[in-house]
Structure 1
């Protein structure tokens, strides 16, 4: 995981916002972030004073901005660190299928309130009112109730991120997470893409990720900042 050649995966935020997810971006060529109702991630084009000042302007008053990259973040002027942790970036280019059959439904705008409620309860990672616009969200319903979901988050050249995999506590242990991840991943790989995700090393779900075919690519730093 050391001395890796450069990859867009080293800067997933920037390459998502300047590529396939540009419609969800705000900012300019110096710095970009996702719309605040989509997620909290942003990045400067480089570490120049001009670019960092532009990134600082994208940090909301009373809110936060998330940075993901190789090594410690270079702080924009007038900001402070809220939290900083190491993430394992895991990638898969083939899928090991083993899930049982589960009735899966496509999720969209009409499901957004339920999706937000489920993510708020289970805390799979940053999730906001319009996070589902990043694409590919599917779920499992029981008696009409959304009890599990998964979807896509960032999209860099050649790779899409699997994210927001979560199950209501009352419905865990039934294989929903694996079934949903397989259903998200399979068409991406069939279409010639790799998939990636970010996880803390102590996340119990890492065993599932490895069973699906993910391998750790490298360690990245996840930093959340606010206005000082």
Structure 2
């Protein structure tokens, strides 16, 4: 299937025939399901800060780069996930650059063993516990309203949330598995894999394709994802910017 995001979405280069996941944040913030969460100025888009830190440029004109810099200064840090490093952004500086693996699960599930665990749906009443678990384990950018980006499931023990997984980016026809984390005291019990299987099954039941992102250096997590049926699609650069 040929994808075409338009000639103005590739930092000044035509991207006809490229896949939306080549620029996942831009696809998220221009897609039918989550474009309403984007703050847009010129060719700069960022996810509303309460939901996350992601941002993208639809072009690299001075106006768009200035707009993104202003967003960073006014609303806080941003993260861009792109095939290459972004152009210089006035009024912002690079905090970190990390290589990320983008993985996609188009085929059948892998042979990961099932775990006998009670999995529950998480809702607004769990928001504080979800933020607390994410703050403890650092699975990636997670804000107060990140749980509203999609469905989340979890495992509770001794009256508290000890593991969770859910959804984040939703470009058309695809959904990202994200927020996967387990309290250190409860690791090694297969909770993360069990939760991811539930999230993946629900995504596929909607006729969508699951995908995810992982730091390239996190080989342990990548091995789990491969056993669940995810396959490497491409490498991307995650660049975090803060006010200069």
Q: Tell me the TM-score normalized by structure 1.
A: 0.93
Q: Deviation at 1:143?
A: 2.5
Alignment of 1:17 with 2:29, yes or no, is yes
Q: CA deviation at 1:46?
A: 1.1
> Which of these residues, 122, 129, 135, is aligned with residue 114 of structure 1?
129
Kindly report the root-mean-square deviation, in angstroms, between the aligned alpha carbons of the 2 structures: 1.5
Q: Which residue does the alignment assign to 1:214?
A: 230
For the pair 1:200 / 2:215, whether they are aligned, the reply is yes
Name the SS for the 2:212 alignment partner: strand
Residues 28 and 123 of structure 1, relative CA distance in 2, 3 Å threshold: same
Tell whether the 8 Å contact from 1:62 to 1:226 is kept in structure 2 after alignment. Answer: no
Does residue 1:225 correspond to 2:224, yes or no? no
The equivalent residue for 1:188 is: 203
Inter-partner Cα distance in structure 2 for 1:176 and 1:118:
14
1:7 aligned partner:
19
Q: What is the rounded CA distance, in whole Å, between the counterparts of 2:210 and 2:233 in structure 1?
A: 12
Following superposition, the deviation at residue 202 of structure 1 comes to 2.2
Residue pair 1:44, 1:54 contacting (<8 A) in 2 also: no
Give yes or no for the alignment of 1:26 onto 2:39.
yes
Question: Is the 2:69–2:91 Cα contact (8 Å) retained in structure 1?
Answer: yes
Distance 1:159 1:29, change over 3 A: farther
Q: 1:78 aligns with which of 88, 91, 100?
A: 91
SS of equivalent to 1:68: strand
- 1:123 corresponds, among 126, 133, 138, to 138
Match of 1:90 among 103, 107, 117: 103
Of the three residues 166, 173, 191, the one matched with 1:151 is 166
User: Gaps (5+ residues) in structure 1?
Assistant: none
- 2:110–2:226 Cα contact (<8 Å) kept: no
Runs of 4+ with deviation above 6 angstroms = none
Counterpart secondary structure, 1:180: helix
The answer to which of 90-99 and 44-53 deviates more is 90-99
Separation (CA, whole Å) in 2 of partners of 1:162 and 1:226: 26
How many pairs were matched up?
Answer: 224
**DSSP-derived class of the 1:82 partner:** strand
Query: 1:195 Cα deviation (Å)?
Result: 1.2
The farther-off stretch of 122-131 and 190-199 is: 190-199
